[in-house]
């Protein structure tokens, strides 16, 4: 497969009527964020991010969560800024908020975000600051353990219908920093392809290929 140059990517974006990006952890590697193959205290991050782990080991889960709250202080890299610069609608699997920090106005966070904690009983949202002040944050109303507003394994993704609509409108799909191993996420680009969209995949060095 021929490698597309940054100049060709730029031209494809500029001539596209409705480009849409699907981003994953790889786009944020240049911002010093880890991918899921890393470990925390010897435990694979992917294991920690399962719903069952949250339920069975909430204290360890929140230790990890307080660690990843530092992601909010990381800076976007050129790939984030380029998507923002060209106003590209972005569906992201990331929870780091770097697309918005770079200035993107249209971001669909299908795996949630690091801005809120949620009481699953009362449906009340809390600021994540509570996770810093309490070892195990609890709902002020009912006393239940709060859950970060992120999608864990074995939970349904958020905003699926909105994501599908974006890909059905797309005439150009940019797949950036994701291997599309997860279902149903991997079905989104296919929807666009079936509607005649072009597709460009950038899975390594996205900060260099999307730097214009």
Task: Render pLDDT for 27-39 as a digit per residue (tens, 0 to 9).
Answer: 999 999 877 678 9
Please check the confidence at residue 4 and state whether its pLDDT lies above 60: yes
E strand or H helix that includes residue 44: strand 43-44
Please tell me whether the overall predicted TM-score, pTM, comes out greater than 0.85 for this model. Answer: yes
Query: What pLDDT, on a 0 to 100 scale, did the predictor assign at position 38?
Result: 84
Q: Tell me which residue of 20, 19, 21, 24 sits closest to 182, measured CA to CA.
A: 24
- CATH assignment of 1-33+76-111+156-212, among 2.30.110.10, 3.40.50.1220, 3.30.2020.10, 3.90.79.10: 3.40.50.1220
Among this protein's residues, is 111 annotated catalytic? yes
Largest CA distance in the chain: 57
- CATH assignment of 35-73+115-150, among 3.90.400.10, 3.40.120.10, 3.30.1600.10, 3.40.50.720: 3.30.1600.10
Catalytic one of 111, 159, 205, 211: 111
CA angle 151, 113, 30 (to 5 degrees): 105
């Amino acid at each position: 497969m021929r490698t597309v140059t940054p100049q060709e990517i730029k031209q494809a974006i500029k001539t596209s009527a409705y480009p849409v990006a699907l981003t994953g952890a790889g786009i944020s590697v240049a911002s010093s964020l880890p991918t899921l193959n890393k470990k925390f205290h010897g435990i694979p991050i992917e294991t920690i991010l399962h719903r069952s782990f949250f339920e069975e080991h909430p204290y360890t889960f929140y230790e990890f969560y307080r660690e990843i709250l530092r992601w909010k202080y990381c800076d976007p890299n050129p790939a984030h800024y380029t998507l923002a610069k060209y106003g590209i609608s972005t569906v992201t699997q990331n929870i780091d908020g770097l697309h918005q920090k770079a200035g993107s106005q249209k971001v669909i966070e299908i795996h949630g975000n690091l801005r809120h904690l949620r009481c699953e009983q009362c449906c009340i949202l809390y600021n994540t600051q509570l996770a810093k002040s309490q070892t195990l944050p609890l709902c002020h109303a009912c006393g239940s353990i709060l859950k970060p507003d992120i999608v864990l394994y074995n939970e349904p993704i958020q905003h699926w219908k909105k994501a599908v609509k974006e890909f059905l409108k797309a005439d150009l799909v940019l797949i950036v920093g994701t291997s599309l191993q997860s279902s149903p996420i991997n079905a989104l680009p296919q929807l666009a392809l079936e509607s005649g969209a072009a597709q460009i995949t950038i899975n390594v060095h996205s900060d260099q290929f999307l730097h214009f």
